[in-house]
Structure 1
């Protein structure tokens, strides 16, 4: 009888260990704090856990696993299984997706941003380049067109951008440089300190980031309609980790992407609806840039930077023209479809 009881206990313990071993747990590296920019990451973690009855879980870490500029490196060595990064942080490592950061592409809303990102992420050149980092592009982090907050008198003429020290990365930085600005690519988490200490006069962010990183608290004014472009920030997964998932786990993850993005878009829409009241509450002047000033900015920045980007990509053996044309075509289709 004792042998039977001992055997039964041993079997129970063995089963418990086996069940624990079967569970999948991923670490996810993001930065800052939970905000509109990370809501799809939080949502996909929630959905995956629900769909697998808690057998596949994700631990979302805000800066505890890696610095934001090093998330792609962390993915490449398997330090964690999922991460978010922005293309402008290391343009040489993710050249293909920087097409989405070209200034004045004409993207009008987040739905269109999702459409063009999905198209580029699915292009073989993008998947091949990310595979070099053992990374698979999972979903974008769609952001509105960036706009400036600044200190002192509003800068609403192009001549006033000359010498302006601006926090702007990627194609946005190039755009401001084309009209005499002096861009710096400090990370999002460093932007407030750079503004507070006077290292920069202005900061280019989407609305959620001005709130999350406190730059709105230093601002005297905000450009409501400059809309020079945005940055592209994918969420990627480690390829080895993705391929190690069971079929059911992989299905739970893949099927949750669109749901997570829908949640993100709905959440961001609420933020945009209350943005004007945020400006009023914080005493920030809303500045409307004259159409002729925006057109002058576009003429000096859009075509030259686009042509230089295409030539640079083609020179590196990448299909620059094809990628740019893909963005234009996808955007036209999205607009025709009512997005």
Structure 2
């Protein structure tokens, strides 16, 4: 037998009740949704499907999660709002695009925090100020961080020409997420910044509303953003992560056994996704080049010119992220600087 519970905003959670084997008892099957903006069949989408499968297995079929990729049920901003209100159960959430909800959610977008994966593993996936800030800020907004996933080092695609120096970016009109840190970096090199939701970006590039955009290789290729942007520079200015997220109000309705199972599923998914993302990353250079894109790998000397601009942004954002928080991050960066 089945019945429906009406939730906030008219959303519904379906509960299926079935007789359990020889015990004659009843088992409730809860059907939830997971939204994400990542493209169909991207590493993030495959990870979300894996999470749904693991959650189902670990709850003995008592929790079923349907995955909706490619912005089918909303942008990062609207997914975050729906989680916060209890209108959506799960999301693979790019919290850096949600600074409209809370400015601290793009704290991890400060330019040039890390330059390699070993440094990233220490600062983004252990217990430093970045995961602490993300977890606490999401919690303050009704969202539970179950785990993290990798969104890669970000770069710049554009339609005007190769970018190898800060001067090459002067006057470019660029789509960036609504992050004070990223906007500050691009404005620092003389670019104009525009905030456009991810599901609308392809059209904006196609119509020439913007000259280029700031994203990683995989996201750029999987969303076909390179089709009108034949130049891609690996600036590596931001190492980006996302959140395996759940509505906190829905989390509180789960049994302890189901909470434990969901947490285990998230941890296994996190480990799988990060490894898979890194494994395929360099393959995307070949994919982009095969599609006619000029991929520019900067020398350490060229990177240092961009770093100088990026690091200058940090202290200008004390009022937004807090001086104490930024200074603690500086200390952590210093501690991992020799990791290669």
Task: Place the TM-score, normalised by the shorter chain, in its bin.
Answer: 0.7 to 0.9
Shift of 1:118: 4.8
CA separation in 2, counterparts of 1:126 and 1:288? 31
Shift of 1:57: 1.7
Matches within 5 A, 1:123-142: 123=132, 126-142=134-150
CA separation in 2, counterparts of 1:233 and 1:294? 25
The answer to whether the 8 Å contact 2:119/2:336 transfers is no
Q: Of 156, 173, 192, which aligns to 1:148?
A: 156
- Could you tell me which residue of structure 2 aligns to residue 188 of structure 1? 198
Greater helix fraction, Structure 1 or Structure 2 = 1
Matches within 5 A, 1:1-339: 15=19, 19=26, 22-31=28-37, 32-62=39-69, 63-109=71-117, 112=120, 115-119=123-127, 120=129, 123=132, 126-169=134-177, 170=179, 171-224=181-234, 226-303=235-312, 305-314=313-322, 320-322=323-325, 325-326=328-329, 328-329=331-332, 332=335, 336=339
Per-residue CA shift, 1:158-215, capped at 9, x if unaligned?
Answer: 2121111112222222211111011112122222222211112122111111112111
CA separation in 2, counterparts of 1:221 and 1:89? 24
The answer to whether the 8 Å contact 2:221/2:284 transfers is no
From the superposition, tell whether residues 83 and 69 of structure 1 become closer, same or farther in structure 2 (CA, over 3 Å): same
TM-score relative to the length of structure 2: 0.82
The answer to whether the 8 Å contact 1:116/1:330 transfers is no
From the superposition, tell whether residues 207 and 240 of structure 1 become closer, same or farther in structure 2 (CA, over 3 Å): same
CA RMSD of aligned residues (A): 2.8
Q: Quick check: 283-292 or 261-270, which moved more?
A: 283-292
From the superposition, tell whether residues 275 and 58 of structure 1 become closer, same or farther in structure 2 (CA, over 3 Å): same
Q: Quick check: 62-71 or 205-214, which moved more?
A: 62-71
Q: How many residues align?
A: 316
The answer to whether the 8 Å contact 1:110/1:144 transfers is no
Per-residue CA shift, 1:236-276, capped at 9, x if unaligned?
Answer: 21112112212221111112222101211232133213123
CA separation in 2, counterparts of 1:267 and 1:281? 21
Shift of 1:94: 3.0
The answer to whether the 8 Å contact 2:75/2:197 transfers is no
TM-score relative to the length of structure 1: 0.82
CA separation in 1, counterparts of 2:79 and 2:154? 23
Contiguous gaps of at least 5 residues in structure 1: 1-12, 315-319
Shift of 1:334: 9.4
SS in 2 for 1:180: coil
Greater gyration radius: 1
From the superposition, tell whether residues 290 and 112 of structure 1 become closer, same or farther in structure 2 (CA, over 3 Å): closer
The answer to whether the 8 Å contact 1:149/1:221 transfers is yes
The answer to whether the 8 Å contact 1:85/1:233 transfers is yes
Greater strand fraction, Structure 1 or Structure 2 = 2
CA separation in 1, counterparts of 2:317 and 2:227? 35
Q: Quick check: 324-333 or 90-99, which moved more?
A: 324-333
CA separation in 1, counterparts of 2:93 and 2:334? 23
SS in 1 for 2:47: helix
- Could you tell me which residue of structure 2 aligns to residue 8 of structure 1? none
